[in-house]
Structure 1
Amino acid sequence: MKQTRYNTFNLIHKALRASLYDAANTLQRTDFSSREQGWNAIRKVERVLFYFDEHAKHENNFILPAIQRYNAKLVDDFEREHVTDHALSKNINDYIIDWKVTYDEEEMIDLGTQIFYEFNEFIAFNLYHMNKEEDLLNKVLWEHYSDLEILQIHQALVQSIEPAVLAEQSKWIIRSINDAELTQWINGIRNSAPEHAFKAFLQMAESELPAERWSYLKDAIRGKAVVSDIYG
């Protein structure tokens, strides 16, 4: 049986994809002649753009340096893609700025349509980009680093994230991963984080998960007494 290696991108990429899909679905339903609906959609889009901008910075600071020493050309390719991603984000933001300052309904609708199309371009690029990362970057990491070494890089990256942003991202991760991944992730937090942090993640999971998935998670976590102590 082929051994499964540690994929540092898996959880955050699932969360990022889910945030893309959620914002895209909101955009499709939005009547941009309505200030209330338009603002709701724009806030979602702006938050997604922020997530991806932060994700690119984290990769540039932590993942790509680990690749650089073994495949500098690959790093150059991905850095150029991050520049492209930033340009796509700027296109969306330019239309958002124009929408915010106009009250002409026809213009609001036209700008909303442009936001929608530009966001679709952003989605298409990033879905392909994330697939490439999980293929090409992981191949280099797996060839030259142990799972423990990759995990240490990942932990340093996570520790650099602002707590409020980390909490937001954690909610998207909880919503976006399967039961086995969720159980493994929560157990990892339990084994490495202070008890108060573990309890906070359990409470977050309870608030984010449907009842049946929360019940499964409680049963699946090792050391059921800890969950019982918290929830009775």
Structure 2
Amino acid sequence: MNTNRFNVFNQIHKGLRALLFDTVMQIQQTDMSNAEAAAPVLEQTELLLHLFDSHAYHEDTCILSAAEQHSPQVIKDFESEHETDLALSNSLRQKVTDYRLGQSDAARYVAGYNLYYALNDFVAFNLKHMNKEEQLLNTILWTNYTDAEILGMEHQIQQQIEPEKMLTYFKWMIKGINNTELIIWLNAVKAHAPDFVFNALLETCQQNLPQDRWAVVEQQISEGAAI
């Protein structure tokens, strides 16, 4: 991994991993025979599926299409993996539907475990897939594009995401990255984005960071820290 180059996947993948891990912990700690208790798990699983579907689409159109010009066979393999991911997504989505159709505690208990195992399959595949993207696909991008060009691909993706969904991505990226990465991000947004975007990001940080982390980040931003 070349740490001196821009990693277009780092921030979004850390956010998506945070969402995956949080969802698994949530279902492991929930009595899935209880429909009321299970409702937040179902809602977050559906959110997870929605964000991963959107992420895969934007990767295909803005990242893989650029890399394909230089390594078509490698990109063909990634596209095949996205098809596998779609099948796992559909299976997990069906397990959510099956759970909602459960008419008894016993039926919901079984459906909850089926959902749990489908979620684990989805998580295991996507963790490996994201690692492969960061290790292999980044190498292709770095060999053939400048950091400025890769950053342009990221901006192209951001322009296609509606504001409400972007705030949801922000929430999980904030939860998933470290303080240094977060401060660099906040400084960049402060320098280049409208004030309302920066203020919305700060508010999302305050809402989603533990108080001790937020205090450190807020202090460094207010002091104009440039990392």
TM-score (norm 2): 0.94
Distance 1:221 1:213 in 2: 12
Q: Which residue of 1 aligns with 2:58?
A: 58
Q: How does 1:152-191 map to 2 (within 5 A)?
A: 152-191=152-191
Distance 1:32 1:214 in 2: 33
Distance 2:211 2:47 in 1: 27
Shift of 1:215: 2.2
Identity of aligned residues (%): 39
Check 1:30–1:215 CA distance in 2 against 1; reply closer, same or farther (3 A cut).
closer
Q: How does 1:216-231 map to 2 (within 5 A)?
A: 216-221=216-221, 224=224
Shift of 1:73: 0.8
Q: Which residue of 1 aligns with 2:69?
A: 69
Q: Which amino acid in the other structure matches residue 11 of structure 1? A: Q
Q: Which amino acid in the other structure matches residue 84 of structure 2? A: T
Aligned-partner SS, 2:70: coil
Q: Which residue of 2 aligns with 1:99?
A: 99
Q: How does 1:1-232 map to 2 (within 5 A)?
A: 4-221=4-221, 224=224
Distance 1:166 1:105 in 2: 37
Distance 2:210 2:28 in 1: 25
Distance 1:150 1:37 in 2: 43
Q: Deviations over 1:113-139 (max 9, x none)?
A: 010011101110000000000011100
Distance 1:4 1:219 in 2: 27
Q: Which amino acid in the other structure matches residue 120 of structure 1? A: N
Instruction: State how many pairs are aligned.
Output: 224
Distance 2:205 2:102 in 1: 40
Please report the RMSD computed on the Cα atoms of aligned residues, expressed in angstroms: 1.6
Distance 2:148 2:165 in 1: 25
TM-score (norm 1): 0.92
Shift of 1:207: 2.1
Aligned-partner SS, 2:93: helix
Check 1:131–1:180 CA distance in 2 against 1; reply closer, same or farther (3 A cut).
same
Gaps in structure 1 of 5+ consecutive residues: 226-232
Q: Which amino acid in the other structure matches residue 7 of structure 2? A: N
Q: Deviations over 1:62-90 (max 9, x none)?
A: 00011011011111111110110010111
Given that 2:205 and 2:214 are in contact with CA atoms closer than 8 Å, whether structure 1 keeps it comes out as yes
Shift of 1:162: 1.3
Given that 2:102 and 2:111 are in contact with CA atoms closer than 8 Å, whether structure 1 keeps it comes out as no
Shift of 1:51: 1.1
Aligned-partner SS, 1:102: coil
Range with bigger deviation, 90-99 or 141-150: 90-99
Given that 2:85 and 2:122 are in contact with CA atoms closer than 8 Å, whether structure 1 keeps it comes out as yes
Aligned-partner SS, 1:103: coil
Distance 1:3 1:123 in 2: 26
